Amino acid sequence: MLNALEVFTTVTVGLMVGVEFSVAFVINRILDALPDDSGQLGRAHGGRMLGAVMPVWYIGSLVLVAVWAVAGWGHRGAGLVVTAGGLLILSVIMSIALLVPINNRGKTWTPENRPADWKQQMNRWDRFHYVRVAVIVAAFALLVAALA
């Protein structure tokens, strides 16, 4: 049973990492290259859509890692799992403190009501997101190493 939990948790976190990596290095670059207001509208829509899904994914991943850490305590790789859990906690704190406030503003913007500094705010969100991606990639790598 522990083996199934390990695999399910690693796949769940890995998929989350893939989505967030794609947002950082593919989707946002595509949106930023679109003409006129299309990029801003796309970011607002993405903020609404992913803003509804990602909190469940982040918290769910953290819960799975916590269950793995408890169930696997004393087994090989337990320290790696605990460290990965700490990194996921950091990613949740970063999300709540840094990224969600910007996202909550951005998802309501239209070309008519967006602030003059909207691009600077999106660039700030991107910079925080790059750091968060690095944190969750490290957590994922630790989970993979714990499986070995």
Nearest CA among 146, 143, 7 for reference residue 77: 146
112-123: average pLDDT: 96
pLDDT in tens, 15-46: 999 999 999 999 999 999 999 999 999 999 99
The pLDDT of residue 135 is 98
Q: Sign of the CA dihedral 24, 142, 67, 2? A: positive
pTM: 0.95
The Cα angle at residue 23 between residues 21 and 29, in degrees rounded to 5: 115
The pLDDT of residue 109 is 97
Residue 116 C-alpha from the chain's centroid: 27
109-138: average pLDDT: 97
Nearest CA among 6, 1, 24 for reference residue 123: 24
135-148: average pLDDT: 97
User: Tokens 């969100």 belong to which residue?
Assistant: 125
Percent of the chain exceeding pLDDT 90 equals 98
Q: Sign of the CA dihedral 38, 22, 19, 62? A: negative
Q: How far apart are alpha carbons 52 and 133 in whole angstroms? A: 18
pLDDT in tens, 89-99: 999 999 999 99
Q: How far apart are alpha carbons 147 and 18 in whole angstroms? A: 19
113-142: average pLDDT: 97
